[in-house]
Amino acid sequence: MTKFFKNLYRLILIGTPLFIISNYIRNFLPNYKTKKKSKKIENDIYENFKSINYNEKWFCNNLNYLTVNFKTVKNVKKILEIGSYEGRSAIFFLKNFSNSNITCVDTWSGSDEHSSVNFELIEKNFDLNTSFYQSNNHLRKYKMTSNDFFKKNDKYFDLIYVDGDHSSDQVKIDLINSWNVLKNGGFLVLDDYMWWYYKDYKKNPSTPINNFIKENILNISKLTVWHQVIIQKT
């Protein structure tokens, strides 16, 4: 519970709109202490997963949350992922949406918080973990910045997962570019809403995400706020 109040304090401090804070509070209890449920899902999905450090399982904390929120969603065919790391999220989405294809975009060079990470090994693990999906063309890998990808992209997507560079300026750019290629009725999933790496809280992802929601509220049919934010486009 301490973490909840710290997050609440920080959201208030950066001027988060009341309707977003209310949404977060409403979603807190249903997602509180769901580690056991997420662990079961994790065991089912990642049987042979290779990781540089098995303690770095950030994505797995969201497994129950995502599974519940996408339980009745069936029409996801084309997925875009900005930031893939070792492939956990890509594998989850491919298994959750059995008839889907995913486009994975990552530089595999990291951001400010990754100064001590061996990205040569991270990328190697990604290729090992996703080799089955790459071999049958269900996963396409693009080693480049998200900016470069969007410049050449001409496709639209049913679901876009954003977990790339977490600096506020780049998050803002990724949100705008992703929204422009998201189909009507599609889903935008934004990771690390409650990530507070930078001491100036407004430089973290929550500020550009808040601004994006406010600016596009009339084109949002459903909003779910927790450690990840799920937005459905009208």
Strand residues in the chain grouped as ranges (E): 78-82, 101-106, 139-143, 157-162, 182-190, 220-225, 229-233
Instruction: Tell me the pLDDT band of 214, cut-offs 50, 70 and 90.
Output: very high
Per-residue confidence (pLDDT) for residue 190, from 0 to 100: 98
Q: Which residue has the tokens 């973490």?
A: 3
pTM score, whole prediction:
0.95
Say which CATH class 2-233 falls into.
alpha beta
CA dist., res. 97 & res. 49, Å (int): 19
Tokens of 20: 């977003």
Tokens of 24: 């977060």
What integer best gives the mean pLDDT of the chain? 93
pLDDT at 29: 85
Handedness of CA 220, 221, 225, 227 (dihedral sign): negative
pLDDT band at 55 (very low <50, low <70, confident <90, very high): low
Residue 56, pLDDT score: 66
Mean pLDDT of 189-218: 96
Cα 168 to its chain centre, rounded Å, is 15
Give first-to-last CA distance, the chain, whole Å: 34
Average pLDDT over residues 136-159: 98
Report yes or no: 167 and 201 within 8 Å, Cβ to Cβ. Answer: no
Q: Which two tokens stand for residue 233?
A: 């486009």
Question: Average pLDDT, stretch 208-212?
Answer: 98
What letter represents residue 32's amino acid? Y
Res 221: pLDDT: 98
Q: Where exactly are the structural domains of the chain?
A: 2-233
**CB of 190 within 8 A of CB of 231?**
yes
What is the pLDDT at residue 53? 67
As a whole number, mean pLDDT of residues 91-95 equals 96
- Beta-carbon contacts of 234 under 8 Å, excluding residues fewer than 6 positions away, are 184, 185, 218, 219, 220, 221
Answer for the pair 175, 212: CB distance below 8 angstroms, yes or no. Answer: yes
The residue with tokens 């890509």 is 90
